[in-house]
Structure 1
Amino acid sequence: MDASVLVVANQQFLTKFFDLISNIVMGTVEVSSDPDAVLSWVETRQSAVLILQATQPGSLQLCRQIKENSQWGWIYCILVNDRSETVSETLLPDRCLELEARAAALEGGADSYLQLTPEKTGVPMVVIAEKRLLKAQIKAGLRGVEFYYKLQQTNDILSTMALADPLTDLNNRRAMEWELPRQIQNARTRSESLSLILLDVDYFKSVKDTYGNQVSDRILQLVASRLQHNLRSQDTLFRYGSEEFLIILSQTDVEDTKIVAKRLQRLIGDQHFNIDGKLALQMTISIGIATLNSDDDTKGESFRRRVDRNLLFAKSIGRNQIFAGEDDLVNG
């Protein structure tokens, strides 16, 4: 498995076990003798498996700190005691000491605790079995991390699918509900203007009733494409409803928003929509405009209600109109 392993131990430990660990891991094996420097190391490199020499001061605390951090909790921590520096093992039977040490390690957040017998004093078969156990634990850690990565990739794909409109490939309403509060916060932090354009394809139901779903779906795809390819880099486009599209315009006041709205109105209305080379339909859009106010809520609900009211007014006065509120009718 191609993953990185960080071993935190003294030179004596590394001399005994580095070759064994290197033969297990296809990725990089890095070493450190300073537990205090590991947190900054993990922050920049995020090794998949962390092997800590249990007898080093601070090893258990280090393991606990990593597991308590939500960004690093997936790192697999193995505490290894090679018993070469254990000075109190004669005070209690070996089995009791091992169980207490293992319990303390697992309680502290370690994923595994191994106690290894020095080759010079141990029974050869036991030494071999313990090395096999170490190898198995490292592989188990790598499998767990690999599963975590695959799960993250799956979650990323599902998140993308959940925020995308399958017909137009635009961001959907759920994505807008996440993005708008973020842009509101940014605008207020930077003291910048923020505006919304909400547009509706006029008489869309009549097109659907007359020509069917395939033609109406194609109209929406073409409208989305025209809008997407004619917006500025700071504009964010969403499919808001069936035939409604919402645009967030950052760093844009009401006057500049009117200019953008007029351009989009001409973009849709001046050129026919050709469907499969057999049908050409002329479509228009009605547009509502709203600009962020100081008393709008942080989620943007009042902001959206205002632009929605303005769109309804634009539609009520004859379609193919732009309305910015407070009797501010923008001639198309």
Structure 2
Amino acid sequence: MTARVLIVDDIPTNVRLLEARLAAEYYEVLTASSGPQAIEICNRNDVDIVLLDVMMPDMDGFEVCRRLKASPRTNHIPVLMITALDQPSDKVRGLEVGADDFLTKPVDDMQLMARVKSLARLKTLTDELRARALTGQQIAIEDALRAMDNVDTGGGHVLVIDTDARHAERIKTYLVPEHSVDVLVQPADAVFQVTGAPYEVVLVAMALENFDPLRVCSQIRTLEHTRTLPIILIADETDRPKVVRALDLGINDFIMRPVERNELAARVRTQIRRQRYALELRQSVNNTMAMAVTDDLTGLYNRRYFERHLHVMLSKAQSQGRDMAVMILDIDHFKAVNDTYGHHVGDSVLKEFAQRLRRSVRGVDLACRFGGEEFVVLMPDTDMGQAEAVAERVRRAIAEQGFDVGGDRPMWVTVSAGVTLNESVSDTPAVLMKRADVALYRAKRQGRNQVVFDAA
């Protein structure tokens, strides 16, 4: 995953060092030598992450961050503050003015890249939600931005998972009475504990006795209603390689032992703010989207919405040099279902198909009903390997479990899919759809129940 990163520092040597580290990982880098210049760049460009030095003349990093987070144009941009200050109070101050994370000089390469990757994922998801709101109705994004200003971070529901009961209780005392905190000392019960519960943050200790903490996190992520639940790891210095792996798997944040009370509280508040903001965005989209862009039967967006959104996202991908994939799916032999069992059974299959499709794609992907038994999925920031993984997951979700249509036996259904990628700036929505449709035709001709990639 690439991103456009703005480095803000008044010392050229520091800028060049960070620029070299990020460029080596294929990030696009912009630079600013002062706070006002950084704010101007953020207002004029699509910046994904800001690396912000605290100690600068005229306007320090705290004030720059406060202004960025106060502006509707820039408050969605993640800010990673970098400073020579090492007092916990400075970290807390940075997080409280809106910084999304904090690093101390000299910057550790592992922590730098781990934080940047994590924030890049956050920005991608936020951008997709904002784009959907904008595509549906402009008022949705305005409501979402106002909601960001009004997000309350108090009264959160937190779960602490730690086999060391004494350590877990100490963590709990750091967070109450501001939040409601539950402690779980049996990690094997994590899935049961979070099922149906209103948790907004989970703290997982890396030092779990006889349990793999990353496995616990992965199990929480498999549940539909906790797929986006923020997870913070509590780690020791020896856990650093696993922390990197965890962040690659989508864990939101980590804090190192010994845990400092105020830093933990600030990081928990930050995750609660993000979680509630994302919820506000989703509700804003759902509440303000006109019925004209929603398919009544399946609840998915319809062809009209997809075509407009495809135009927006393709233009963005081309202007920023990012990957994007489009997949067309067609239910195999669906006419026979209607002819044999009736349209009421066909409608039941379409509804269940849409539910499985929605569960099988990622949070940033957009699934729509294109018409009849044909569906489409738009996958931003997605290369061939990632697109193949999503497509195969969808195909298996349809083929490996029968559809309950009210009879004695389930109905077995399969799906064929054609996938294409954004390949050049000359691609148009029509060209992408044609290539995906040709790939779908090949999948049908080659026996159905398979995924075929455009060979262009």
Larger radius of gyration: 1
Structure number with the bigger relative contact order (C-alpha 8 A, sep ≥ 6) is 1
Give TM-score scaled by structure 2 length.
0.36
Give TM-score scaled by structure 1 length.
0.49
